[in-house]
Amino acid sequence: MDAHIKKVYVPMTETGFYILLCLQEPNHGYGIVQKVKTMTGGDIVLAPGTMYGSLSKMEKDGLISFVREEDKRKIYEITALGREVLETEKKRIDRLYRNMKEM
């Protein structure tokens, strides 16, 4: 992971985290919105302007890659770099959680 990626994605925004989490399987923007909505019990509803900007940025930075287009929807999937960034974030959240439980 180079310095630029680290600076931008560590730590990650909640939106970014959920996008990477969902893209461990191929999906498109709205699919991610629906999945996150279900996952969080309706608490987090991602918005299209944010989603589109995040997906474009992550694709440019190499965290996700374009798979194919289906019915005018672009389908993405996480890359190896994306998995690395996600792992780092997972560890960070884990550590936060463990320390939180202890105090």
Partner 1 sequence: MKDKKITFKYFSIAEYEKEEAYLRKMHQQGWKLVKISLRYLYVRAYIFEKCQPEDVIYRTDYDQTGGDAYIQMFADCGWEYLFDFDESSYFRKKKEDIAEDEDIFCDDASRLAMVRRVFKARYIPYLTLCVSDIIFWIGLDSLIYMGSGKSGLIITTILWITILLALLYLGVLTMQFYKCEKKLAEETEAAEGVKYKYIGLAVLWVALALVTGILILYANRSDYSVTDRDNGFSIESKRMNTELEREYEAQKGDQIAIGHDIDDGYIEITIEDSEGQVLASQSYEDWSEDIQTIVVPKDGRYRIICKGRHARGSIQVNLE
User: Which chain residues interact with partner 1 by CB under 8 A?
Assistant: 13-15, 28-30, 33, 44-54, 56, 69, 71-74
Q: Residue 101 CB, nearest distance to partner 1 (Å)?
A: 27
Q: In what order do the strands lie in the sheet with 64-70?
A: 27-28, 73-78, 64-70
Which CB, 22 or 28, lies closer to partner 1?
28
Please, which residues have CB within 8 angstroms of residue 23's CB and are 6 or more apart in sequence? Answer: 32, 64, 76, 77, 78, 82
- Amino acid, single-letter form, for residue 74: K
Q: Residue 45 CB, nearest distance to partner 1 (Å)?
A: 6
Q: Residue 21 CB, nearest distance to partner 1 (Å)?
A: 16
